């Protein structure tokens, strides 16, 4: 998908530099988020999850708990 010139340049970068590039790309995409359309099934799933959260906001795990589980693996 990436043309070979871009891929070669990315491969020359450190991981930290590549992460910054990804962050820049993500920020650029987020600025245009209004143009990202969800399917009906995606909207329904988001509504389902929001309703579940609202019915029991204490259910689930905090970010710190999730992060700790990930780091233990």
Q: Where are the domains of the chain?
A: 4-72
At 19 the pLDDT is: 95
At 1 the pLDDT is: 62
As a whole number of angstroms, the distance between CA 27 and CA 58 comes to: 31
Q: Is the pTM of this model over 0.95?
A: no
Average pLDDT over residues 60-69: 92
As a whole number of angstroms, the distance between CA 72 and CA 10 comes to: 30
As a whole number of angstroms, the distance between CA 31 and CA 23 comes to: 12
Give pLDDT tens digits for 10-62: 999 999 999 999 999 999 988 887 888 899 999 999 999 999 999 998 888 88
């Amino acid at each position: 998908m990436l043309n070979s010139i871009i891929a070669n340049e990315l491969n020359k970068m450190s991981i930290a530099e590549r992460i910054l590039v990804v962050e820049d790309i993500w920020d650029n995409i987020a600025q245009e988020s209004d143009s990202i359309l969800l399917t009906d099934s995606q909207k329904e799933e988001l509504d389902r999850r929001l309703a579940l959260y609202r019915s029991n906001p204490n259910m689930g795990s905090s970010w710190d708990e999730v992060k700790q589980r990930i780091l233990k693996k």
